[in-house]
Chain A
Amino acid sequence: MPRRTLLALTASLIFLVAPWLLPPFHVGIFAYAGIYALAAIGLVLLLQAGQISLGQAAFMGLGAYGSALVARAYGIDSFFTLIFSIAATALVAALIGYITLRLRGHYLPLATLAYGIALASSFTAWHDVTGGASGLDKIPPLGLFGYALTDDRLYTQLIWIVVLLAVLGLSRLRNSRIGRAIATLESHDGMARSFGIDTTVLRIKVFVFSAVLAALAGGLYVHLLRFVSPSPFALLTSFKLLIMAVVGGPSSAIGGVVGALTLESAQWALQDLLARWGATGNLEVIVFGVILVVMLLKWPQGLSPALERLLPKAKPRRSDGTPLSARTLPADRAESLLELKGIGINFGGLQALADVNMQLKRGEFVGLIGPNGAGKTTLFAIISGLLRQSSGTVTLFGGKMPDSHSIVREGMARTFQHVQLVPTLSVIDNVALGAYWRTSSGFMRGLLALDDAENARVLASARAVLRRVGLEAEAELAAGSLPLGKQRIVEIARALLADPQILLLDEPAAGLRFQEKLLLVKILRQLNAEHVTILLVEHDMELVMGCVERLVVLDRGRVIAEGAPKDVQANPAVISAYLGGARDKAA
């Protein structure tokens, strides 16, 4: 058995027997640490998706009140009321997520703060049902079919079983298809959509799942304490959970556990120590605050990455599957794949594109050139559905433009002028994003590790593509650590893994060395020979002239010339656009 697995099993075993070894007072602390860890793990997932939430405690409160009130009022087994309250919280979270997740920048954390306070205040304000600020007692213990779980040690063990399962599930998820997609949510929305990820829906799913973990934590809390009041679910707890997630390190689910254990034990140890030294009650807050600051100055990434370095390395993932089946492209060169008619777009007063007409036929290799600011990248954004044109129509594969996240399914993939890789993910995981639409394992399959076979096939295909572009040796490095030229090649590899009929390349050769350029040209020619249609934007004229069969020249938002490279090179309008002069005098 690999050492890492052995270590994980031993650690889990220690957690599970700990309630039987600790003195009763510490069992309680351990139980609450587990509950906070569960809610903090939810926040870790949110942070991985680039969302900061100050409302997590409110969802804990919904889970707690939902289960406590129903179990208390109707005498239903609290196991069922817990499930009910988790489902109800998930519904509320889906609604809140649907409304607020379209917010960007600082508006989103602010919105979480707002509903966090609003929900927590309503626990106090709805006095008739919730018992107001003084709370309600006589909450039934956790029970199923008449059997009640009243033993604190057993209960604590149950809590930690749930926590360990959550950690296991989320660690699996991180390496799955959905995990890779979640990593794009923080700052690569456009890229994610062009590779088939419906980011809006995925954001809501992540948010709901995180709320479900919080609700579960809240339910476990209230049936352990058997008393419910609003104060544990107020803003302060949300802050506490966020501190746990950040101190523990949001890069992995273990961070939630490490953070919760560190903070809870630090708090209790401080109280104990300072009381023993006869210090007054408020000194612990000061010391706690100072420790918090010092820890983050020392480990800004959180404790878990520092811990991770001490552990034996994880065994390499399976990448031995049969590669995904690719489509075979017809050789018929008459079919029109992409047609632009009268495309125009304005940004405020600036007419970025005006009346652009263009056609791509199957198997063509077309270059799109023009001076800086001619509108090439804008045109790309329209073709790939990330921008909507103000006038004109785009026809893709004979139909009208689908949503931006469905375009890749139709068979069009692209690269970006400003490299859009997730810097913390490995190269092979970045490439594997290209196969997102070709695979189907969802959230649950990722959590339960039912996607193993499919994932192995994806990784095998990704490895094959990396071999083709000469980057197999770098497969396991973090993408952000590669030089820019290699990052561009990773972009191309990712687009290739999307198995495109049309490939859009936005300045793929910028920053490449001579040898890399030669390889790029070779790959492009090969692809074209396999009937892949290519549209290339590039400033390296030698490269463009050497491989394309047709050129379209854009200047100031208009097509000024079109035709074979030789003819375009001789076109006076093109020469003046690049060198200035004639036209400016005429105007």
Chain B
Amino acid sequence: MIDTALFLLVDGLTNGLIYALLALSLVLVFTVTRVVNIAQGEYVMLGALTLADLLQGRMPGTLYLLIGGLALCILLDAGRWRRDWRGALLFATGLIAVAIAAALITRMALSLHFPVIAMMAVALLLVAPLGVLIYRFTVHPIPDASTIVFVIISVGVSMAVQGLGLLIWGASPYPVEPIAAGGLMAGPVFIPYQAIAIMVVALLSMGGLYLFSEHTLIGKALQASAMNRLGAQFCGIPVNLAGGLAFLLAAAFSALSGMLLAPLITANYEMGFMVGLKGFVGAAMGGLADYPLSLAGVMIVGGLESTSAYLASAYRDVLVFSLLIPILLWRNARQRVETR
């Protein structure tokens, strides 16, 4: 009995921390840009499948996505050539340089057979810039649109990216190697090394984000744009860059969570949506604005999930989602008291 409970605890904690990285991304994107990003889960899929490709010695399809996106970016900039051809040339050259660098790094990683951790870094380099590109394509043109318009746009992005995932990788699942195989016995429970890796990486990234936003000027600028967009603009903070940065960091965190999750469940093109949804549920419990509360939220989701998977019944989803409503009512009431 205690063995089971401990096992469920470890399992729930691992799941929860993976969703936590996602919830973190969602909160980051929402506070800085007011976008409730339904497509956040797709970076999870891209991260996992890119890593799978790299580990099996294939050129990852993500590279083509990145190059295509950069090309589109240059195309959208076409209007600038008339007014300011120097700037436009510089911009285009820069993007082409990024594309070439990404291709070279990937080639090198493949020919030198990097270890898993280094491959993860390469995959991160390929996926994270996609976040900035998507910000440039979908949010940058209409910064003042309403929340619901951004929600639907991100649904469109999610559909397109998932479709591209299916086109590139097909419907078959890919196994992904864990950072370290095996595990250790802690008393009566077996803890896989991957679970430990997940905990370490998740905690390190959260700590990193905290230090970044509290102790660097750029981090503080991000916080300022999150609090008051207009005010930040008046202080000379380029809020567009802040938005791009938020999308970049969020894409990186989500991709990371995909790479950590993939060895546990095998990667496929539609894995992102469900993970994204659970991250969203957790993040929304914190009102999409509060990091610690979002953490608590995803831990509840992770715990509910592993417990109900253990008690597997047909009514699992019914129970999990019905239980959510009283939690929401409680949070809502608390928040009203706090604001008063």
Chain A residues near B (Cβ < 8 Å): 47, 52, 99-100, 102-107, 109-111, 113-115, 117-118, 121-122, 124-125, 127, 239, 242-243, 246-247, 250, 280, 282-286, 288-293, 296-297, 300, 347-348
- Tell me the minimal C-beta distance from A342 to chain B in angstroms: 21
Which single residue of chain A is at the shortest CB-CB distance from B158? A289
- Tell me the minimal C-beta distance from B145 to chain A in angstroms: 4
- Tell me the minimal C-beta distance from B32 to chain A in angstroms: 16
Contacts of B141 in A (CB 8 A): 297
B322 touches A115 (CB 8 A): yes
B235 within 8 A of A: no
- Alpha-carbon separation in the docked complex, A98 to B235 (Å): 44
- Alpha-carbon separation in the docked complex, A311 to B167 (Å): 42
Contacts of A114 in B (CB 8 A): 281, 321-322, 324-325, 328
* CB neighbors of A among B306-335 (8 A): 314-318, 321-322, 324-325, 328-329, 331-332, 335
- Alpha-carbon separation in the docked complex, A288 to B164 (Å): 12
15 inter-chain pairs at a CB distance below 8 angstroms, sorted by A residue, are A100-B328, A104-B336, A105-B287, A110-B281, A110-B285, A114-B324, A125-B314, A243-B152, A250-B148, A285-B159, A289-B163, A296-B142, A297-B153, A300-B145, A347-B340
Contacts of B167 in A (CB 8 A): 280, 282-283, 286
Contacts A107-B331, A285-B159, A286-B164; A296 near B321 (Cβ below 8 A): no
B318 touches A293 (CB 8 A): no
- Tell me the minimal C-beta distance from A53 to chain B in angstroms: 11
Which single residue of chain B is at the shortest CB-CB distance from A293? B156
- Tell me the minimal C-beta distance from B126 to chain A in angstroms: 19
Top 6 A-B pairs ranked by shortest CB distance? A289-B160, A289-B159, A292-B156, A286-B163, A285-B163, A121-B317
B157 within 8 A of A: yes
B221 within 8 A of A: no
Contacts of A348 in B (CB 8 A): 340
Contacts of B156 in A (CB 8 A): 288-293, 296
Contacts of B142 in A (CB 8 A): 296-297, 300
- Alpha-carbon separation in the docked complex, A105 to B36 (Å): 12
Contacts A103-B332, A114-B328, A300-B145; A242 near B284 (Cβ below 8 A): no
Contacts A110-B324, A286-B164, A292-B153; A300 near B146 (Cβ below 8 A): yes
Chain B residues near A (Cβ < 8 Å): 36, 137-138, 141-142, 145-149, 151-153, 155-164, 166-167, 280-281, 284-285, 287-288, 314-318, 321-322, 324-325, 328-329, 331-332, 335-336, 340
A286 touches B159 (CB 8 A): yes
B318 touches A121 (CB 8 A): yes
B315 touches A52 (CB 8 A): no
Contacts of B317 in A (CB 8 A): 117-118, 121, 125
- The CB with the most chain A CB atoms within 10 A, among B161, B318, B329, is that of B318
Interchain CB contact (< 8 A) of B325 among A99, A121, A293: A99
- Alpha-carbon separation in the docked complex, A43 to B81 (Å): 44
- Alpha-carbon separation in the docked complex, A250 to B314 (Å): 37
Which single residue of chain B is at the shortest CB-CB distance from A132? B314
Contacts of B280 in A (CB 8 A): 110
Contacts of A110 in B (CB 8 A): 280-281, 284-285, 324, 328
Contacts A52-B148, A107-B331, A285-B162; A293 near B138 (Cβ below 8 A): yes
A243 touches B315 (CB 8 A): no
Contacts of B331 in A (CB 8 A): 107
Which single residue of chain B is at the shortest CB-CB distance from A300? B145
Contacts of A297 in B (CB 8 A): 138, 141-142, 153
B163 touches A282 (CB 8 A): yes
| Contacts beyond the supplied A113-B281, A282-B163, A293-B137: 8 A-B pairs with Cβ under 8 Å | A106-B288, A107-B284, A107-B331, A118-B321, A122-B315, A243-B155, A289-B157, A296-B145
- Tell me the minimal C-beta distance from B328 to chain A in angstroms: 5
Which single residue of chain A is at the shortest CB-CB distance from B137? A293
- Alpha-carbon separation in the docked complex, A109 to B137 (Å): 26
B332 touches A107 (CB 8 A): yes
- Tell me the minimal C-beta distance from B105 to chain A in angstroms: 27
Interchain CB contact (< 8 A) of B160 among A100, A106, A115, A290: A290
A296 touches B149 (CB 8 A): yes
- Tell me the minimal C-beta distance from A327 to chain B in angstroms: 36
- Alpha-carbon separation in the docked complex, A291 to B167 (Å): 18
- Alpha-carbon separation in the docked complex, A250 to B166 (Å): 32
Contacts of B324 in A (CB 8 A): 110-111, 114
Which single residue of chain A is at the shortest CB-CB distance from B283? A106
Contacts of B151 in A (CB 8 A): 52, 242
- Tell me the minimal C-beta distance from B327 to chain A in angstroms: 9
- Tell me the minimal C-beta distance from A459 to chain B in angstroms: 29
Contacts A118-B318, A282-B166; A102 near B159 (Cβ below 8 A): no
Contacts of B152 in A (CB 8 A): 242-243, 246-247, 292, 296
- Alpha-carbon separation in the docked complex, A250 to B153 (Å): 15
Contacts A286-B160, A289-B158; A106 near B315 (Cβ below 8 A): no
- Tell me the minimal C-beta distance from A576 to chain B in angstroms: 32
- Alpha-carbon separation in the docked complex, A347 to B36 (Å): 32
- Alpha-carbon separation in the docked complex, A284 to B164 (Å): 10
- Alpha-carbon separation in the docked complex, A347 to B331 (Å): 20
- Tell me the minimal C-beta distance from B214 to chain A in angstroms: 25
Contacts of A243 in B (CB 8 A): 152, 155
- Alpha-carbon separation in the docked complex, A111 to B321 (Å): 9
- Tell me the minimal C-beta distance from A133 to chain B in angstroms: 10
B155 touches A292 (CB 8 A): yes
Which single residue of chain B is at the shortest CB-CB distance from A286? B163
B325 touches A115 (CB 8 A): yes
Which single residue of chain A is at the shortest CB-CB distance from B323? A114
- Alpha-carbon separation in the docked complex, A285 to B36 (Å): 21
B328 touches A107 (CB 8 A): yes
- Tell me the minimal C-beta distance from B239 to chain A in angstroms: 19
- Alpha-carbon separation in the docked complex, A502 to B315 (Å): 57
- Alpha-carbon separation in the docked complex, A453 to B336 (Å): 42
- Tell me the minimal C-beta distance from A43 to chain B in angstroms: 10
B284 touches A106 (CB 8 A): yes
